Amino acid sequence: MNFAKKLFAVTLLLLVSASYPLPAQNKAVKIEMDNGSAVVTLLEGRASVLRQGMKTPKTLSKQERLSRGDRVTTEIKSRIEITMPDKSVVRFDEKTTFVLEAVAYDQKTQKKDIDVNIILGKTWANVPKFSGSKGRFEITTKTSVAGVRGTDFRMNVNADNSAVLKVYKGEVAVSKRKDTGTAETTAKLEKPAKIAGPHPVEGPHPVSMEEWTYIVGALQQINIQPDGSAAKPFRFDIAKDLDEWVRWNQARNRLIQQ
């Protein structure tokens, strides 16, 4: 009888132990899926990060975490890949500067609030498909916003604030970035407003040329001018597009999908 009890206790202990991963495994998963930060999963060459509250940038290392407000710059002949908490992957070529404006993710609801602002340079984003009710994933520039719902695309931002966006898979909703007008709004709030009498209400009006939104589909590109204007998307030649940067990203995509 005692032998049977001991055998049962040992068997139960083994089953419970097998149900829980080792502490080291838990730690590895936690680094990859931290809700409030991205992780540097690849670093070729050198890159630096200027964190909020810092006066001078510091050298960035592989597996280092990036948080909201971090400003990253890659040096010449350098590249970096970061993995977001929702497992989206964003890569940056040499001489690129970007800021993590938002990097929030709720594992339970799978809602996300991710915004990467490209100041200058080249970026490539590989974002898993998700519904609009699950939040937002945006790549922004000074003049444009690229809203992503699951796609593979790249964007080049030039020194004059012009940009080129090319989509390889899925769709990207690209629109002109709206001026927040904070200073103007504040000034208006400080002055007492006159209450106007009855007046005609303006009816529907066409969207001005300053406002635009385009859906850019697979194998299409859109060119954004320095003033924020843009022409309609058009199809690009994939054969002519296959430069070293594109091939490198496609190889990375295949590697992370294995």
Q: Report the distance separating Cα 81 and Cα 74, nearest Å.
A: 11
Averaged pLDDT of the chain: 81
pLDDT tens, residue by residue, 188-217: 333 433 434 444 444 443 334 479 999 999
End-to-end CA distance of the chain: 51
The residues, any chain, with a CB within 8 Å of residue 149's CB and separated by 6 or more, are: 127, 129, 130, 131, 132, 137, 170, 171, 173
Q: Which of 72, 55, 87 is nearest to 119 (CA)?
A: 72
pLDDT tens, residue by residue, 119-135: 999 999 999 888 667 79
pLDDT at 83 over 70: yes
DSSP codes of every residue in 38-96: EEEEEEES-EEEE-TT-SS-EE--TT-EEETT-EEEE-TT-EEEEE-TTS-EEEE-TT-
List the chain domain ranges. Answer: 86-178+212-257
Q: What are phi and psi of 256, to 5 degrees?
A: -75, -15
Task: Decide: 154 and 209 in contact? Cβ < 8 Å.
Answer: no
If one counts every other C-beta atom within 10 angstroms of the C-beta of residue 23, the result is 8
pLDDT at 17 over 90: no
- pLDDT of 179: 67
pLDDT tens, residue by residue, 54-63: 999 999 999 9
Instruction: Summarize the confidence of residues 33-37 as an average pLDDT.
Output: 68
Higher pLDDT, 34 or 187: 34
- pLDDT of 30: 37
- pLDDT of 153: 98
Handedness of CA 100, 104, 216, 41 (dihedral sign): positive
CATH fold of 86-178+212-257: Jelly Rolls (2.60.120)
Q: Report the distance separating Cα 36 and Cα 231, nearest Å.
A: 36
Higher pLDDT, 165 or 203: 165
Label residue 247 by pLDDT band (50, 70, 90). Answer: very high
- pLDDT of 258: 77
